[in-house]
Structure 1
Amino acid sequence: MTHHHLEIDSLRIALDGTVLLELDAHIGPGEILTVMGPSGSGKSTLLAWLAGFLAGDFEACGHAHLDGRDITHLPAERRGIGLLFQDPLLFPHLSVAGNLRFGMPRATRDKPRQVETALEQIGLAGFGDRDPATLSGGQKARVALMRLLLSRPCAVLLDEPFSKLDTHLRQEMRQLVFTQLRQAGLPSLLITHDRDDAAAAGGEVIELTH
């Protein structure tokens, strides 16, 4: 398994001369760094900067390195970073299997078998032909997670991914997501305002204050 590392070196993001956040961090393989803070504290700005879609009116200095490669100025699609959002954002015009195949690298061998194995892993064996609209919230969240993993990212950003799930489902999804990320050896950054998310992630917690 490849050992991926994500480093944030001397990051400083400002808007109209006001510094929103300053951060140095190193996230090792399978580690989850949690960033907490109230709305407006710069959590989403940090995520946008790392993912490669920070709006031009922000001033950012500092660097992001993924596996030693400087990704600071690369376009979003070339960074090798996967995203998991509040909403599963499944493609409505594709089947469940189509959603899973969507992000798989072109050279992937035997995609149908990989898709079926992936569905078994998340307790959805035989769901490949289903329309995503027929899935429950928890099932959609599991498909979104597996689609992300099958796209073979080198690091993962999680933006409040559990906030819309009910309490029981939230615990179940936390366990599933964090276990899968650790097993895949992916450095991950979790943005949340929920202390239980931070506790379940089990890694370092950085609090942004405003």
Structure 2
Amino acid sequence: MLTLDDVTLVRGDFRLRASLDLPPGLTAVIGPSGGGKSTLLSAIAGFEEPVKGRILWDGRDLRGLVPGDRPVTMLFQDHNLFPHLTVAQNVGLALAPRLRLTVRQQAVVEDVLTSVGLEGLGDRKPAALSGGQVGRAALARTLLADRPVVLLDEAFAALGPALRHEMLGLVRDRLASQGRTVVVVTHDPQDARTFADGIVFVDDGVAHPTQATDIFFATPSQAARAYLG
């Protein structure tokens, strides 16, 4: 269980408060622009430290741990692929940061590429892929990173609805359904309604406690109704 225990985050003049639990499964973080959604994910990943409160993973306080030492992997909108490396090399970084992969590790990379629909494309550079294929490559690296917490900060926002839904389906099936804690920032409430097990609504500097998706949409708060329209 990922827990934000009475957390306060400060970024310039902006303050975000959060007291909530994020269980295994897919949780969507939604709310108006500028409300603090990305700030929330940055703090979980370790790019920002709370000025108050604790971020806990299975009861362990993550304070002071740099991003690489946390049980967290994060996908951004640009997917963090290195343009000078091949798809297989980008994915292989999850296993060997210096890319000195053993024969067995190379086979593992090929297997995961096949599992996300990129069979035979490992030798291509990211620029030679479609948007959906780039997203699949980033997902393949995340699968091999084997971190229990996965954060997606609008990772598929640049894709059209069909490709975005395809990628979110893969995230749900390959990560959330396998017991990982997946937290997705999205500006599309319909994506949240379709794919998420729970909703965190962020508005006016407050990340509200997680609600089951059906309950959130059936009985939205006044602020949520204003956002949803």
The interval holding the TM-score normalised by the smaller chain is: 0.7 to 0.9
Give the equivalent residue in structure 2 for 1:75: 66
Shift of 1:136: 0.7
Residue 175 of structure 2 aligns to a residue in which SS?
helix
The superposition leaves residues 160-179 of structure 1 with CA deviations (integer Å, 9 ceiling, x where unpaired) of 12210012111111111121
Separation of aligned partners in 1, 2:68 and 2:103: 22
SS of equivalent residue, structure 1 residue 115: helix
Superposed CA deviations along residues 117-174 of structure 1, whole A, max 9, x for unmatched, are 1011011111111122111110000000111121111201110122100121111111
Aligned-residue identity in percent = 40
Q: Specify which of 164, 173, 176 is matched with residue 170 of structure 2.
A: 176
Checking the alignment, whether the CA contact within 8 Å between 2:43 and 2:50 is kept in structure 1 is: no
TM-score, structure 2 length as denominator?
Answer: 0.80
User: 1:21 corresponds to which residue?
Assistant: 16
Change (3 A) 1:115 1:66: same
TM-score in terms of structure 1 length: 0.87
Q: Deviations over 1:41-89 (max 9, x none)?
A: 11121111111112xxx86211111233211221111112101111222
4+ runs deviating over 3 angstroms: 105-109
Contact 1:156 1:187 in 2 (8 A): yes
Paired residue secondary structure (2:16): strand
Q: Check whether the contact 1:86–1:164 (CA below 8 A) recurs between aligned residues.
A: yes
Q: CA RMSD in A?
A: 2.2
- Cα shift at 1:108: 8.4
CA distance in 1: counterparts of 2:96 and 2:143, whole angstroms: 11
Q: Is the 8 A contact 2:73 2:149 kept in 1?
A: yes
Alpha-carbon distance in 2 for matches of 1:125, 1:15: 43
Indicate the residue corresponding to 1:8 in structure 2. Answer: 4
The 3 A distance-change label for structure 1 pair 168 and 46 is same
Please list every run of 5 or more consecutive structure 2 residues that lacks an aligned counterpart in the other structure. 205-229
Contact 1:15 1:59 in 2 (8 A): no
